[in-house]
Amino acid sequence: MVQKYGGTSVGDADRIRAVAEHVARTRRAGHDVVVVVSAMGRTTDDLIRLAGEVSSSPSPREYDMLVSVGERITAPLVCMALGDFGVPAVSFTGSQAGIITTPEHSRAKIIEVRGDRVREALAEGKVAVVAGFQGVSTERNVTTLGRGASDTTAVALAAALGASMCEIYTDVTGVFSADPRVVPNAKRLARVSFDEMLEISATGGRVLMLRSVEFARRHHVTLHVRSSFTWEPGTIVTEEDPTMEQAVVTAVTHDISEAKITVAGVVDRPGVAGRLFRALATKSINVDMIVQNISSHGTTDISFTLPRLDLKTGVEVCNELANELGASGVSSDDAIGRVSVIGAGMKTHPGVTAAMFETLAREDINIEMISTSTIRISCVVREEDVERAVRSLHDAFELG
Amino acid sequence: MVQKYGGTSVGDADRIRAVAEHVARTRRAGHDVVVVVSAMGRTTDDLIRLAGEVSSSPSPREYDMLVSVGERITAPLVCMALGDFGVPAVSFTGSQAGIITTPEHSRAKIIEVRGDRVREALAEGKVAVVAGFQGVSTERNVTTLGRGASDTTAVALAAALGASMCEIYTDVTGVFSADPRVVPNAKRLARVSFDEMLEISATGGRVLMLRSVEFARRHHVTLHVRSSFTWEPGTIVTEEDPTMEQAVVTAVTHDISEAKITVAGVVDRPGVAGRLFRALATKSINVDMIVQNISSHGTTDISFTLPRLDLKTGVEVCNELANELGASGVSSDDAIGRVSVIGAGMKTHPGVTAAMFETLAREDINIEMISTSTIRISCVVREEDVERAVRSLHDAFELG
């Protein structure tokens, strides 16, 4: 089994000893264990601050050499602590574990997991502790996989080793029907499907990184999201079970990290939208929802959401293109929020959309944009209405 | 040319930028540069503290994985800073630089320096920045070379690459005729021979590690010990120049880190000393000076010095052996100090010993033990007399 421990789970020496004790317990229960660790607490932030102090534009290769160090500190510390609990353990860097990646620094993708030394360690009866978030490129340089990507390391190792389970230990007890800080009676979900988890991660649920869920789904790795503070059973993320009745709605999520741009009065001809969104993609802006009104007299309004951090750049791009697109104006709004309801059962229950709109209308909450997938409906509303929207939807779908 | 920067030289972001600027200057002067770095300031101590917090007896392999991280932080930071000065640079871990070592953790010895990637980087017009203090064992584990061993990394790389010079940058301006904190008019030495430097390092001069000087002598690597704060020329350590007149005395050193044990009334027969010092060696106690009085009526007193930190263990070993050796008693003294005068010219000037003893006698300083080499005379005196002894000898031999 693979167990991944996040930054707060290994935040100090006491936490590391608690993790070691739990790994020792897992071993006594008869499991081979591969542990994947994140950097302790703020270590990576401290390294990034140092990089900013020595250079205005750090070399991407050197940046990865630097920020991969945090996990390399945690891994041997966990092994040392395991030694005190009588468990032989050996630590590996991403490179030593054979995590082979593409060469793009800071956002490398895993090409292959060799894992020979990890397998050898297991065969010798040892626990293997692997530094997460990093690998080695085909050009023999240290790479990192992007923020929070230790989950991806864990899932990739689990897939490569044929592990029965990948446990993701964190500081919450699992995946909830809504953010418990907003909805006090939110319920921990015992089980969600990969598809639901993907939608939850994509729309504001911060427990699992979207990418690691995608990886787990593609490689059929069952995840167990649980707490390293209470050690109680958490949420199992796995294949949809077609024999079971699906809950219509599983969770309500929200996200207030985005902003909206509207390009008004664009001439309505083929290629206009392509031109606009290509220009945004060139600036590495991740556009999320896009809404285009049906044209009435030859022009149209295009609205889209994007991360607030990218709003300034996004507006610049749109202004530069406004003339070429024949647009009458560009406006932006950074006081929006998105509320989503997610559930695999929606596919066969057509009434959910109506129920969602009725609930928001009852609360006098105006819907500014709508987007849907087969198992999700998202509405953009005013930021100040977001928490009220989440609570009312959570009640309306009886998730508490 | 190889440039090595110690912990204070890279102590913070400003220091790292200053180092990068100097490396850039060296490059503009037409030199290929390989930089070897230590960990920043207290980083290694912090890591060692963490190890102590998670485990009562850390695994040696994991300990090396952990403490090798400090240098791995400095190396990419120096590269980033070099980038800002327009100098392309690439960092390497000890393993990536091909520093192949024996497998003994925390005190591995360098077997071979492959240096292929370092050579490639130089060939591409880049500065190579190598993490000091570490290597990789023939068993593919990360090893460390012992405290302060970044100097050894630098010298080994210089030897392997055929570098014209290995510059050791530190927080002092060179090697002095005595410790300037004790002797205010101590002079910086422009040039010392390897033999002299070995004696200086062995008897209390803390600027260079004994081991790196031995390595440099064996591989004919000229060293330049200098300051990374003033950047002025420092001390050249090189082969003895037989065409030059040797200074009779070059430096006066002192050391107050040792203690003395006397085993009294030992029966005077072959094998006794061997038995005693083998037992001490088994406990990894580094014995320094040994004095055995000439036997008068079948017994003898053996006195030796050892690090104060080992005094308790040393006394235990001696007490355990006392009966077997027929000793009448074991006594110890931790208030001693050693004063040494060093000079290559001593070999041909027999009067130095007499002059040293006369000087100490004039100061009414009692000599408790004496040991000599061809270019050094050391006397053990009371600890409280050490500084006075150093000043009077420095004056007597006109080193100021």
DSSP state, residue A74: H
The CA-atom distances, in angstroms, between A324 and each of A267, A269, A279, A306 are 10, 12, 12, 22
The pTM assigned to this predicted structure is 0.87
* pLDDT one-digit tens code per residue, B19-69: 999 999 999 999 999 999 999 999 999 999 999 999 999 999 999 999 999
Which residues on chain B are in Cβ contact (under 8 Å) with A127? none
Q: What is the dihedral of CA B323, B327, B331, B336, to 10 degrees?
A: -130
Tokens of A48: 């990034």
The CA-atom distances, in angstroms, between B74 and each of A100, A169, A179, B129 are 25, 31, 41, 9
Tally: H helices and E strands in chain B:
12, 20
Mean pLDDT per segment of 10 residues, for chain B of length 400 residues?
A: 96 97 96 97 94 95 97 98 97 97 94 97 97 96 91 96 94 95 95 94 88 93 96 94 77 95 86 87 86 74 91 94 89 95 85 90 92 90 96 95
A60 touches chain B (CB under 8 A): no
Region A311-316 average pLDDT: 95
B336 touches chain A (CB under 8 A): no
Which residues on chain B are in Cβ contact (under 8 Å) with A13? 50, 53-54
CATH code reported for the domain at B2-171: 3.40.1160.10
DSSP labels, A200-251: HHHTT--SS-HHHHHHHHHTT--EEEEETTT----EEEE---TTSPPPS--E
Which residues on chain A are in Cβ contact (under 8 Å) with B56? 84
DSSP labels, A171-205: SSSS-BSS-TTT-TT--B-SEEEHHHHHHHHHTT-
Give the whole-angstrom CA distance, residue B178 versus residue B346. 17
Q: What is the pLDDT of residue A296?
A: 64
- To test the contact with chain B by mutation, choose from A15, A21, A55, A117 the residue with the greatest count of B C-beta atoms within 10 A, namely A55
The answer to whether the CB atoms of B63 and A50 lie below 8 A apart is no
What residues contact B53, with CB distance under 8 A and at least 6 apart? A13
* pLDDT one-digit tens code per residue, A94-105: 999 999 999 999
Question: Could you tell me the sign of the dihedral formed by the alpha carbons of B29, B31, B33, B38, in that order?
Answer: negative
**Of B340, B325, B221, B231, the residue nearest B271 (C-alpha):** B325
φ, ψ (nearest 5 deg) of residue A74: -65, -45
Average pLDDT, chain A: 93
DSSP state, residue A309: G
* Low-confidence winner among A118-127, A317-326, B136-145, B175-184 (lowest mean pLDDT): A317-326
Which residues on chain A are in Cβ contact (under 8 Å) with B69? 69, 72-73
Predicted complex ipTM: 0.83
The secondary element (H helix, E strand) that includes residue A160 is helix A150-161
What residues contact B274, with CB distance under 8 A and at least 6 apart? none
